[in-house]
Amino acid sequence: MGKPIDKIISSLEKQYMGYKLPPVVRGNPSKFKLLIRTILSARNTDDNAVAAAKLLFSKYKTPAEIARAPIRELEKLVKRGVFYKVKARNIKKLSKILVDKYNGKVPDSIEELVKLPGVGRKTANVVLSHGFKKAEGIAVDTHVFRVVNRIGIVSERTPLKTEQALLKVVPKKYWLNFNKLFVLHGRNICKARNPQCEICPIRRWCDYYKKEN
């Protein structure tokens, strides 16, 4: 029997009403800044990603400027967290593609976004949902992956399969805000270690809670 998605979403909406958005999407950044922040957040903290993006954009404002920037300079500016050299190369490459192919604009489809260097489905979905207010999928980051599989909304072993399974059971009307709600829940209550089940508003529908109690 499937989980009552409507009730779960409603409970999370009540729980996190008024909560601030995660740092990467906070402050209504431009679509390009959101794209860069999200790329920098991979295997990194959101705060580090935002700080690195702030440094980058303090010196280079546009895709054209980043495309022309020396790679060593870009590496120094985004040197927070792991894989910063790879991220710097990808940011430079995708900036050039945006200039050459999209007139400096971020494309608004998942098919085009995932063609950009360093952009996977999670990044593409974050940019589409928060930047364009478009729901073409569900961004599955570490929090979403953990929480939905722990609860038992789906049971999958990879983020891609988790997204594919979610799209089959979650009504499309919820796709736009799904990532935000489950990231907030993963950060605040359903943590990787020592989840706070006693205060969880959706524990009645959670497989993990039933197993542990």
**Active site residues per annotation:** 122, 141
CB 182 within 8 A of CB 12: yes
Q: State how far the Cα of 146 lies from the Cα of 132, in Å rounded to an integer.
A: 26
Q: How far apart are CA 54 and CA 155, in angstroms?
A: 37
Helices 31-40 & 84-102 angle (0-180, nearest 10): 150
Please, how many CA atoms are within 13 Å of residue 109, restricted to the half-sphere of its CB? Answer: 4
Distance of CA 176 to the CA centre of its chain: 12
